[in-house]
Amino acid sequence: MDEKGCDWCESPEGMAEILAFLKESAEERGLPFVDIAARLLVRRAISNARKAEARRAKEAQKPPLTE
């Protein structure tokens, strides 16, 4: 997900691939999988990643502190 970026993760094919991976992992571990809950968590992760990216970009634009 990090390599392909947030835009790919939000795309229908990206979301389908991520959800398929999560479902497969849940089945291997004997855990329940709820599609809508997984979608919510993936969207939240994308939102957090975008916020972190914006924060890093903003910090990079700040002038260095001088004494």
Q: Is residue 66 part of a domain?
A: no
Q: Which runs of consecutive H residues, i.e. helices, occur in the chain?
A: 5-10, 12-29, 35-61
pLDDT digits (tens, 9 = 90+) for 18-64: 999 999 999 999 999 999 999 999 999 999 999 999 998 888 887 76
Q: List the structure tokens of 4.
A: 């392909």
Rounded average pLDDT over 6-19? 95
pLDDT band at 10 (very low <50, low <70, confident <90, very high): very high
Q: Is residue 67 part of a domain?
A: no
Q: Is residue 52 part of a domain?
A: yes
| Count of the separate structural domains present in the chain | 1
Which residue is associated with the tokens 């571990």? Answer: 29
Q: Is residue 27 part of a domain?
A: yes
Which residue is associated with the tokens 């979608």? Answer: 39
- Name the DSSP class of 30: T
pLDDT at 67: 62
The pTM is what? 0.80
Q: Is residue 47 part of a domain?
A: yes
Q: Is residue 39 part of a domain?
A: yes
Tell me which residue range forms the domain holding 55.
5-61
